[in-house]
Chains A and B, each alone.
Chain A
Amino acid sequence: MDIKRKKRRGLQAWVSWWIEKILAASGGITAFIILLIVVFLFKEGVGLFQSPRVDEGYVLLMHSSNEVDQLSADELKGIFDEDITNWAEVGGKNQAITSLRLDQIMDRFTEEELGGEYEYLSQRMGELIATTPGVIAFVPTLYAPLDHPAVQAMTDNTIALRDFFVGKEWIPTATPVPLFGTLPLVMGTLWVSLFAILIALPLGLGVAIYLAELASPRVRSLLKPVIELLAGIPSVVYGFFGLVVLVPWVQRVLDLPVGETAFVGSLILAIMALPTLISVAEESMKKTPRALREASLALGATHWQTIYKVVVPYASSGISAGVVLGIGRALGETMAVLMVTGNAALIPHTLMQPVRTIPATIAAELGEAAAGGSHYQALFLLGAILFLMTLIVNLMAEALAKKQHNKGF
């Protein structure tokens, strides 16, 4: 009998060789997709820090005697909102600020002075700036009198990392410069998600204990599908339910000016996080060795004492993995939150205020942002931040789940 290894030939061997290669390639697909996601999010978003703050085709003009040449986005907003009224406040001379937009400039002149086709607009602008030393004007570059000796254009900066990460305002459509402060969005996302878990944890843990320890097999076989169904309901349906039932109810009961608040967002997210929390917690409690349980009962502990002194501590890593996973879900949930939180880009001070989360912001604004513009880039960076947040959370959950079988401490 010849059992020596033969070089396999023929179609069949060739086909199976290829199939194995294809299988191997598909095994790496998830890693490849994640890599692609990282590359594309950053590729689309990172240009934000290279693009000028002032919209293309516009320029900020000042009197040439003005020594201030650096203004932050917040300061510019303050000036044009007339919250900042003296150059001394932003490091200049003691001189009143006159902020002017194009329409305000045009209001100061008659049609004849500007010319039928605005051919004298540039000239008039130059004269106006020359006679007003405290001026700052936001005008189209096309009409800017840049060669006038009394006029200087402010050197424009690119959008600063600092403004993006710790800026307190998110007003992407503001002029002269949009404000891309992500802090309110990050805070909004965290607040809503963490509070949701705070509501869901005691509830979910209770139900998990009931399922793992108390329920008869019959009740369990009834309750499990209920939990699966809760997990299966689409998030828009939750959002819809929240909007038509919970929002008016919370508004009435708590007597609020608006019902669309962080609180309702958390409520809905809590309901949505329940199934994950319950099933992960139940599974890890079921893994408690029977011997440990019996040892506790043998010492005269009641069933309840055994649960909270032995079973829950033993399952604590598993339970915290469930909690962390729930937070991850809540962080990324888009539609339900978008529909019930009112979407105000404010740093929340109480839960009874409207807030806006990162996913909701992306969903609501991406449709209006011009592709490749700074708003568009900012939204992609938000996506990247969200991606990183959930990645960290997922890795934490993974580590916790692994820990369950090492030490119980």
Chain B
Amino acid sequence: MRMKRKKRAQWLAFALFRLLGVLVVALLIWILGFIVYQGIGVISWEFLTTGPTEGMTGGGIYPAIVGTLCLVVGSLVISFPLGVMAGIYTQEYAKKGKLVQFIRLMTNNLAGIPSIVMGLFGMTLFVNTLGFGDSILAGSLTLSLLVLPIIIRTTEEALASVPYAFRVGSYALGATKLQTIARVVLPQALPNIMTGLVLSVGRVSGETAPILFTVAAYFLPKLPTSILDPVMALPYHLYVLVTSGTDLEATRPMAYGTALVLIVLVLIVNLLAHGVRNRLGRKVKMN
């Protein structure tokens, strides 16, 4: 009798957990399915290549796509070299101990700072104090702070996964530390570092709060000509379409279309990250 109860509890619990697993998948399908279903009809060549017209109830989102691309490129040009260098320093150079612990703690804390706080900071430092104004430069700098911890962390992990034997082999040939890192360790770690880069692309293209006060333009049909120009951006554009259009019913299709483009972007980024990681997985097995 007693034994049966034990078994029944297990059966019930496991059934529940399976159900929860299914639920998570269902949740994703629901969200993605809803946006795809509502947005697919809006997507057209015209939607992707023209600017908004008729008070954002018509036309497309071309300037927002261009703006987001500018921000992605801009922020990664800043954060990628900086993050990789910081990662190399903590993983390869800094003496293991209090200092590294402190740096790691700070990196984790930076990762935990809310994006709106980053926005506030970016606004005072880049927009006002340094005088960049609402611009691609100010926005990219702010966004780069947000992805810096991601890049540092993936770099550290990537470097740590390079087998010690490789380094020893290089040192044994009389190479200096810098030569060893540059010629042996970095090339080995590169695919994994790229995962961090790809994930950062996803993060930058989806963030709204940091660009609210540093770059994003409400409506700006012309394309930027310099890094000191403001731009539209996909996530902010979606926010504007959803909350502050003059005719919310008429802008809804535009909003669904924009959301779909954002989602597709995220999907591509995730697939890429997955692909990079899988390739790396094979490489490790081969060694």
Indicate, yes or no, whether A interacts with B: yes
A232 to B35: give the CA distance in the assembly, Å.
15
CB distance from B142 to the nearest CB of A (A): 11
Interface-centre pick from A31, A223, A233, A238 (highest chain B CB count, 10 A): A233
B53 on the A face (CB < 8 A): no
List the A side residues contacting B31 at CB < 8 Å: 233, 237-238, 241
Which residues of chain B (216-243) have a CB below 8 Å from chain A? 235-236, 238-239, 242-243
* B89 and A234 form a contact (CB under 8 A): no
Contact code string B67-96 (vs A, CB < 8 Å = 1, else 0): 000000000000000100110111001100
* A228 and B212 form a contact (CB under 8 A): no
* B14 and A33 form a contact (CB under 8 A): no
B284 on the A face (CB < 8 A): no
* A239 and B239 form a contact (CB under 8 A): yes
Stretch from B44-52, B163-171, B186-194, B199-207 contacting the other chain:
B199-207
A225-B106 contact, Cβ under 8 Å, with A26-B86, A334-B114? no
List the B side residues contacting A304 at CB < 8 Å: 9-10, 13-14
Which residues of chain A (295-335) have a CB below 8 Å from chain B? 302-305, 307-308, 325, 328, 331-335
Our pick among A20, A203, A226, A228 for the contact of B25 (Cβ within 8 Å) is A226
List the B side residues contacting A395 at CB < 8 Å: 109
List the A side residues contacting B9 at CB < 8 Å: 302, 304-305
Stretch from A138-146, A348-356, A384-392 contacting the other chain:
A384-392
* B106 and A31 form a contact (CB under 8 A): yes
B184 on the A face (CB < 8 A): no
B42 on the A face (CB < 8 A): no
Chain B residues within 8 Å of chain A by Cβ, number = 82
B16 on the A face (CB < 8 A): yes
A30-B10 contact, Cβ under 8 Å, with A236-B235, A245-B34, A387-B117? no
Which residues of chain B (93-123) have a CB below 8 Å from chain A? 93-94, 102-103, 105-110, 112-121, 123
List the A side residues contacting B128 at CB < 8 Å: 371
A387-B113 contact, Cβ under 8 Å, with A41-B121, A226-B28? yes
Beta-carbon nearest neighbor of B128 in chain A: A371
Which residues of chain B (1-28) have a CB below 8 Å from chain A? 6-7, 9-10, 13-14, 16-18, 20-21, 23-25, 27-28
* B176 and A390 form a contact (CB under 8 A): no
List the B side residues contacting A22 at CB < 8 Å: 85
A229 to B25: give the CA distance in the assembly, Å.
10
A229-B28 contact, Cβ under 8 Å, with A223-B21, A390-B114? yes
* B117 and A332 form a contact (CB under 8 A): yes
Our pick among B89, B110, B117, B267 for the contact of A27 (Cβ within 8 Å) is B89
* B106 and A240 form a contact (CB under 8 A): no
A344 to B16: give the CA distance in the assembly, Å.
38
* A210 and B209 form a contact (CB under 8 A): no
Our pick among B23, B110, B178, B266 for the contact of A34 (Cβ within 8 Å) is B110
* B120 and A380 form a contact (CB under 8 A): yes
* A44 and B124 form a contact (CB under 8 A): yes
Interface-centre pick from A229, A307, A325, A390 (highest chain B CB count, 10 A): A229
A223 to B213: give the CA distance in the assembly, Å.
37
The binding surface of chain B is classed by DSSP as: helix
Our pick among A30, A211, A230 for the contact of B28 (Cβ within 8 Å) is A230
A233-B102 contact, Cβ under 8 Å, with A207-B20, A304-B9? no
Which residues of chain A (268-316) have a CB below 8 Å from chain B? 271, 274, 278, 302-305, 307-308
Which residues of chain A (27-81) have a CB below 8 Å from chain B? 27-31, 33-34, 36-37, 40-41, 43-44
* A214 and B114 form a contact (CB under 8 A): no
* A207 and B7 form a contact (CB under 8 A): no
* B270 and A228 form a contact (CB under 8 A): yes
A240 to B262: give the CA distance in the assembly, Å.
12
A240-B259 contact, Cβ under 8 Å, with A40-B125, A226-B25? yes
List the B side residues contacting A325 at CB < 8 Å: 112
* B35 and A237 form a contact (CB under 8 A): yes
* B113 and A233 form a contact (CB under 8 A): no
Our pick among A225, A303, A333 for the contact of B274 (Cβ within 8 Å) is A225
A274-B24 contact, Cβ under 8 Å, with A23-B88, A29-B86? yes
Our pick among B17, B90, B176 for the contact of A214 (Cβ within 8 Å) is B17
A30-B110 contact, Cβ under 8 Å, with A237-B262, A305-B6, A366-B213? yes
A29 to B148: give the CA distance in the assembly, Å.
9
* A31 and B102 form a contact (CB under 8 A): yes
* A203 and B20 form a contact (CB under 8 A): yes
* A237 and B24 form a contact (CB under 8 A): no
Pick the 9 closest A-B CB pairs, nearest first: A332-B114, A234-B206, A27-B89, A304-B10, A206-B20, A26-B85, A394-B112, A210-B17, A334-B209
Using a CB–CB distance below 8 Å, which chain B residues touch chain A? 6-7, 9-10, 13-14, 16-18, 20-21, 23-25, 27-28, 31-32, 34-35, 82, 85-86, 88-90, 93-94, 102-103, 105-110, 112-121, 123-125, 128-129, 145, 148-149, 152, 176, 178, 202, 205-209, 212-213, 235-236, 238-239, 242-243, 252, 255, 259, 262-263, 266-267, 269-270, 273-274
Beyond A214-B18, A335-B209, 12 additional contacts (C-beta under 8 Å) are: A28-B103, A31-B102, A31-B103, A34-B106, A34-B109, A203-B23, A207-B20, A227-B24, A233-B266, A334-B209, A366-B123, A391-B112
Q: Jot down 5 A-B pairs with beta carbons below 8 A, ordered by A.
A: A229-B28, A237-B35, A332-B114, A333-B114, A394-B108
